[in-house]
Amino acid sequence: MLYILLTREEIVKKLFAVIAPLYTRFVKPLEALSNARRRAIYDYIRERGYSWPRELERVFNMAYGEVCWHLTVLERVGLIYNFYALKRRFYVNKGLPLDEAIIKIFREQAGREPSEEEVLKARRSCSQLL
């Protein structure tokens, strides 16, 4: 009954809000990489080992929401994982083990080794373990 009162545009918006998340659950890795921008983001993360949304936004001149969408799709198909460290959410290539990623990020971004507490905190926040 509620949909009778909505305009066509409102109905499309509501359907898209439901269909878009469902679509990403059934996407295969090769299909996820068929999008040129998503492929570029994945290649960047794979070459560097890691990145974070604001950096990708700047590098690819994309909107923050668009970057987050592509990262979500890549994560759902299992090509990347994420964890929180140094007040940022880092997205990491699946081929880079978690402990190596934590050490690499702390060395490159903070110029130091992570403490045991920081390593444990990053491990707990890892999407790979959820």
What is the C-alpha to C-alpha distance for residues 129 and 81, in angstroms, rounded to an integer? Answer: 9
Whether residue 77 contacts residue 28, with contact meaning beta carbons closer than 8 Å, is answered with yes
pTM: 0.78
DSSP one-letter string for 38-51: HHHHHHHHHHHSEE
Among candidate residues 40, 55, 37, 39, the one with its CA nearest the CA of residue 91: 55
pLDDT of residue 29: 78
Return averaged pLDDT per consecutive 10 residues of the chain, 130 residues in all: 62 63 67 94 98 98 96 95 97 96 98 97 84
Helices H, strands E: what count in the chain? 7, 3
Q: Which domains does the chain have, with CATH numbers?
A: 31-129 (1.10.10.10)
Helix then strand then coil, in percent of the chain rounded to 5, is 65, 10, 25
Whether residue 104 contacts residue 119, with contact meaning beta carbons closer than 8 Å, is answered with no
pLDDT of residue 84: 96
pLDDT digits (tens, 9 = 90+) for 97-109: 999 999 999 999 9
pLDDT digits (tens, 9 = 90+) for 4-27: 666 766 766 666 666 655 555 667
pLDDT of residue 109: 97
pLDDT of residue 14: 67
pLDDT of residue 20: 55
pLDDT of residue 67: 97
Can you say whether residue 106 is alpha, beta or left, with left for phi > 0 and alpha for psi between -120 and 50 degrees?
Answer: alpha
pLDDT of residue 12: 63
Which residue carries 């990623």 as its tokens? 101
Tokens of 71: 């990262």
Among candidate residues 46, 55, 38, the one with its CA nearest the CA of residue 93: 46
